[in-house]
Amino acid sequence: MEKKAFVTKEMIEKIVEKYPTPFHIYDEKGIRENAKALKEAFAWNKGYKEFFAVKATPNPFLINILREYGCGCDCSSLTELMLSNAMGVKGEDIMFSSNDTPAHEFEYAAKIGATINLDDITHIDFLEKTIGYLPKTLSCRYNPGGYFSISNNIMDNPGDAKYGFTTEQMFEGYKILKAKGVENFGIHSFLASNTVTNDYYPTLARELFELAVKLKEETGAHITFINLSGGIGIPYRPDQEPNDIRAIGEGVRKVYEEVLVPAGMGDVAIYTELGRYMMAPYGHLVTQVIHEKHTHKEYIGVDACAVNLMRPAMYGAYHHITVLGKENEPCDHKYDVTGSLCENNDKFAIDRMLPKIDIGDYIAIHDTGAHGFAMGYNYNGKLKSAELLLKEDGSVEMIRRAETPRDYFATFDCFDIYNKIDFDA
């Protein structure tokens, strides 16, 4: 399968007249089509709701596009809660799934009416002491431990993950919560990351649905929703087959009718918390080639670095690269594509076969729409880039300005050194 950029060399040459590289640019049309397909895939479930994982792409302009398709927000920190609240997202449309949670974050989540998803059985007592009561609706995050596998293929290792209640704790926790007056219960679980298979959600759903039936039978809890969380991945590599969201939705529906409906639980709402799937394919990091180096290897130096996209440096993650204007040329040159950080892992690609690259070329790094800008940092005093939106009509809108040195030094503004910095440098 060929991965094509949604921008062309000609488009970028026009954009950079106003917005210099590097920048992240997002495809509004792609985002809308994907959100519509997800909504249709789970339309069979009356209570279905997608809570977009804000951590993936915390930009209100993009989140508001998803809200047009009924999406809420999945938050994991105070600032994500604050952003969602400032956007006018209603409390019931916010899911607060955090871990090792500070008391003031629970306080704020309760204040705005977010649904709280507890990560640990000890958090029941902690939450009650923190806010003085327990909300009528609470969710618990489940971690069965061991390995999560599909058809004998191990997908991930929940037993190594720091998140969630054990199976025994789920039953104990539900009993405690019910005795303390909680009326509506949710189950949440995230057992594998970035899966590229239509079987993940249906397999996870069966495990959670069967658990829900047992919890209802043994504790009498009224389970109102089951949150399949995230985990549906994208094909970062061109040889990977993308997930079929409609096939996934149909697979979950079949399990729902096999397990929940016969147990008298046909009114349970299905929730998802997708981030990567919703946004990643619809973002590019666009950067310009500024240097080439011929030493022990062939290096291409660009004006972006790991500050703009951390995944390759952090995980060795693959991100496809298109040299704009050279899409049809043979990939007969081997390069390391690097940034300027004083870290040797600051590489977007290693030994990647690409067309011959020249200084001044523009490069589109694919699939940066989630966990791209959001994971940025300021090591080496590097500044985060702008975010742009390619609108459906072909126009481009800035949806986050690039950082400036004033932003970087802002937390020194209470000291004399701030007034001595040459901001005109």
pLDDT at 349: 98
Instruction: Tell me phi and psi for residue 158, to 5 degrees.
Output: -60, -30
Residue 284, both tokens: 């590019």
The answer to which of 125-139, 140-154, 403-417 has the lowest mean pLDDT is: 140-154
Which of 94, 99, 102 lies closest to 75 in space, CA to CA? 94
For residue range 285-319, what is the model confidence (pLDDT) as tens digits? 999 999 999 999 999 999 999 999 999 999 999 99
pTM for the structure as a whole: 0.95
pLDDT (tens digit per residue) in 353-400: 999 999 999 999 999 999 999 999 999 999 999 999 999 999 999 999
Q: Rounded mean pLDDT of 27-35?
A: 98
CA–CA distance, 229 with 120 (Å, rounded to integer): 17
pLDDT at 91: 95
Catalytic residues: 342
- 3-class SS at 266? coil
- For CA atoms 103, 104, 105, 109, give the dihedral sign: positive
Element (H, E) at 153: strand 153-156
Domains of the chain: 28-279 (3.20.20.10), 281-412 (2.40.37.10)
Q: Would you call 123 helix, strand, or coil by DSSP?
A: helix
Query: How much is the pLDDT for 94?
Result: 98
Question: What per-residue confidence (pLDDT) applies to 191?
Answer: 85
206-239, pLDDT tens digit by residue? Answer: 999 999 999 999 999 999 999 999 999 999 999 9
pLDDT for res 281: 98
The conformational region for residue 13 under phi > 0 = left, psi -120 to 50 = alpha, else beta, is: alpha
Q: How far apart are CA 73 and CA 82, in angstroms?
A: 11
* 161 band by pLDDT with thresholds 50, 70 and 90: confident
**What is the C-alpha separation between 349 and 340, in angstroms, rounded?**
14
* pLDDT at residue 13 tops 60: yes
